[in-house]
Amino acid sequence: MFEAKLQQGVIFKKIVDAIKDLVKSVNIDASTSGLSMQAMDSAHVALVSLKLNENGFKDYRCDRPITLGLSIENLSKILKCAGNDDTITLQTDEEEPSSLKFFFENQQASKISEFSLNLMSLDSESLGIPDTDYSSVIQMSSAEFSRICKELSSISETVEIETSKESVKFSVQGDIGAGSITVKNNQSDKDVDRVDLQIDQPVKLTFALRYLNMFNKAVSLSSTVSLNMSEENPLMVEYKIDDLGSLRFYLAPKISD
């Protein structure tokens, strides 16, 4: 028996919205400790990693580990039928399920929707994310990071991110010209202004803005985002989801030929 009930179903809707342009089909692994998912995009330059802890669910039960192979597009179609205030319950009784049941219930418990999504058998890539001590960690407003990426992507396809002890600089060079936005360390009480820099070693790395803009679809999951960088390692962009877990995106840096 597997059952997971989310009090705020809208979070699950937001997660699926945030990853659906990046990955088409995924294996979600359910275990006693919660749900996890890892998948690379088709170009194999980005990786999505989702972890949802059992404690974050209203009810959670998973008697034995199971793998749920899902089409994200089809999952998204079913989740469109859930209201933003609904609870969402995932359920299956089978050991090797061929479908996953969904129950959506509104706050008054006056409307209950039930769907089943056919599952797919997907080759699971055995991906492992190496433990990395990032030499530059930036925590800032997710909306602000999203705005910077969106603005700069009209000038260039790539952005160079350079850290120093005091600031982080986002630079672009394009056919029409060049520019940069520098954000300084700021210990404001307001989330929207706060910028936390933990810089052991400054880094200078270049990334494709197209991917960063896709990651930023997760902006509504968290008011802050953390950018974790080390030379020659993929960038790790993390959105923490309150008590529930985290959604992480990894992106390979652009390298000079």
Compute the least distance from the CB of residue 82 to another protein, in Å: 32
Compute the least distance from the CB of residue 6 to another protein, in Å: 28
Compute the least distance from the CB of residue 227 to another protein, in Å: 17
Name the residue nearer to another protein (CB basis): 96 or 175. Answer: 175
d(CA 216, CA 193): 18
Name the residue nearer to another protein (CB basis): 51 or 194. Answer: 51
Tracing tokens 């936005």 back to the chain, one arrives at 181
Site residues (vs another protein, CB under 8 A): 40, 43-47, 125-130, 158, 206, 208, 234, 250, 252-257
Compute the least distance from the CB of residue 206 to another protein, in Å: 6
Task: Report how far apart, in Å, the C-alpha atoms of 36 and of each of 32, 62, 144, 162, 222 are.
Answer: 11, 13, 28, 32, 18
Tokens encoding 3: 């059952």
Neighbouring residues of 145: CB distance < 8 A, sequence distance ≥ 6: 216, 225, 227
From 250, 230, 255, select the one nearest 239 (Cα to Cα): 250
Compute the least distance from the CB of residue 169 to another protein, in Å: 18
Compute the least distance from the CB of residue 229 to another protein, in Å: 15
Name the residue nearer to another protein (CB basis): 44 or 190. Answer: 44
d(CA 30, CA 75): 16
Name the residue nearer to another protein (CB basis): 127 or 192. Answer: 127
> Exposure string (b/e) for 147-167, b if CB count within 10 Å is 16 or more?
ebbeebbebbebbbbbbbeeb
Name the residue nearer to another protein (CB basis): 60 or 249. Answer: 249
d(CA 147, CA 150): 5
Three-class DSSP labels, 127-180: CCCCCCCCCEEEEEEHHHHHHHHHHHCCCCCEEEEEECCCEEEEEEECCCCEEE
Name the residue nearer to another protein (CB basis): 45 or 181. Answer: 45
Sign of CA dihedral 130, 170, 218, 143: positive
Compute the least distance from the CB of residue 204 to another protein, in Å: 13
Name the residue nearer to another protein (CB basis): 128 or 177. Answer: 128
Tracing tokens 């597009």 back to the chain, one arrives at 73
Q: Are 111 and 105 in contact (CB under 8 A)?
A: yes
